[in-house]
Amino acid sequence: MKILIRNGRVVDPASKFDAVADVAVAAGRIVTIGDAGGFTAAKTIDAQGCIVAPGLVDLAARLREPGYEHEGMLESELAAAVAGGVTSLVCPPDTDPVLDEPGLVEMLKFRAEKLHQARVFPLGALTRKLEGEILTEMVELTEAGCVGFSQADVPVADTQVLQRALQYAATFGCTVWLRPQELYLGRGVAASGPLATRFGLPGIPVAAETIALHTIVELVKLTGARVHLCRLSSADGVEVVRQAKAQKLPVTCDVSINSLHLIDNDIGYFDSRARLNPPLRQQRDRDALRAGLADGTIDALVSDHTPVDEDAKTLPFGEAEPGATGLELLLALALRWGEDTNAGLLRSLAVVTSAPAKVLGASLGTLQASLGQLAAGGVADLTVFDPKAEWMLTPAELRSQGKHTPFAGWAMRGRVRCTIAAGQLAYEAADR
């Protein structure tokens, strides 16, 4: 489809481009940015008063297929993605069966591609069945389409196994994605502190994160492997990463929208919608995470989208399944963070576009040159949003199959008007 986006404010964090311009799209590529004279479009989108930005790249979104279709299906979750302006997403391997075989990865990618919505980049399991014992065939999984290898939320207890995994990954240039949490200290349900003590909830100390981080950093020094640290949650964790980056170690990291905006007090009176992994920590941690994202210590902001069904959430706090829906909230909450911290529009968009694309790096193959940015000749992944549009988050209106979010009832600003994925109009708001 030939599409012409007219009169929008085009903002591309990768090139620092920020100007009112037209964008012409044809054959899945951006033809031109600026004067589109002579371009004949099959569809014209008037973006007056809107921002035209690269499609969002989300580094953490569970799609729940295969195995957990009662909590989410590819159709519903990819529809949620494009409604939120997300055109590319990375999904962890903790499905059922676990993504530890090439055939499973190929099937998932095939199913996703048939829907012609957001691109899906799977992470392969680091160990078979995520049991932390036997390494998977990383080369075969990479050939099947995996962009990295992860244990999801299951720590590797045996440090020697983790060392060997990093050695294997380094040999073949693979990136290992790890959520830093020490297995035994991380068995609680809320962040250690006065609130957890008062409520009688088993706590997870900050040390559960920092001990794991120090172990990973030492193994990176030993092996030279590239590691992406998933969903930092503490001020001390940010400082460990800052020191690792100062030593020029090949590490990157992200933070979730939950940890960026909420603290442990938001649990309220045992609100299971705030039962999350990692747990919500204290205000000093949130402030450090916000500052770390602003100064580049933290590379990317993620939705940590984890749809959970009603039965699994309507349980006592400690028994409820952790997770919350987030794909449709990523843009608005990135903009909110930018306003709250004066980080600015370019940085607010960079942490959900060009920065996460840079984390993926060479694993993107031919897409590396243009994913997460706007460039003539590059892939046509765009989102058009109204930065001033205000809306109330009503869970029932979310397109995701998962309706549980701790942000329910929040007043949001910034709404997607349309999303173009690989040159196709994947989403258009009904009220345009």
Q: What tens digit of pLDDT does each residue of 161-219 get?
A: 999 999 999 999 999 999 999 999 999 999 999 999 999 999 999 999 999 999 999 99
The pTM (predicted TM-score) of the whole model is: 0.96
Omega of the bond leading into 97 within 30 degrees of 0 (cis): yes
What pLDDT was estimated at residue 66? 85
Contact call for residues 280 and 264 (beta carbons, < 8 A): yes
* Mean of pLDDT over the chain: 96
Residues 277-326 have pLDDT tens digits of 999 999 999 999 999 999 999 999 999 999 999 999 999 999 999 999 99
Residue 265 φ then ψ, to 5°: -60, -20
- List phi, psi (to 5°) of 192: -60, 140
As given in the structure block, the two tokens for residue 400 are 């995701």
Burial per residue of 286-298, b for 16 or more beta-carbon CB atoms within 10 angstroms, e otherwise: bebbbebbbeebb
Q: Is the pLDDT of residue 231 over 90?
A: yes
Q: What are the phi and psi torsion angles at 389 (to 5°)?
A: -65, 125
Task: List, in sequence order, every residue forming a beta bridge with 224; answer none if it has no partner.
Answer: none
* pLDDT for residue 205: 98
CA 317/CA 127 separation, integer angstroms: 30
Average pLDDT over residues 141-164: 97
Active site residue 304: yes
Q: Would you say residue 432 has pLDDT above 80?
A: no
Angle at 252 between CA 307 and CA 224, to 5 degrees: 125
Active-site residue, selected from the candidate residues 304, 340, 381, 386: 304
Sign of CA dihedral 165, 163, 302, 57: negative
Q: Report, as an integer, the average pLDDT of 82-106.
A: 97
Side chain identity, residue 237 = G
- Residue 334 near residue 301 (C-beta atoms within 8 A): yes
Q: Determine contact, residues 336/289, Cβ cutoff 8 Å.
A: no
pLDDT-based confidence at residue 339 (cuts at 50, 70, 90) = very high
**Beta-carbon count within 10 A of 366 CB:** 8
Mean pLDDT of the region 256-262:
98
- Look up residue 289 and give its two tokens: 């995470």
For residue 37, pLDDT beyond 90: no
8 A C-beta contact, residue 306 and residue 77: no
Counting Cβ atoms within 10 Å, is residue 382 exposed (0-12), middle (13-18) or buried (19+)?
A: buried
Q: What is the dihedral of CA 120, 121, 127, 131, to 10 degrees?
A: -30
8 Å CB contact between 353 and 300: no
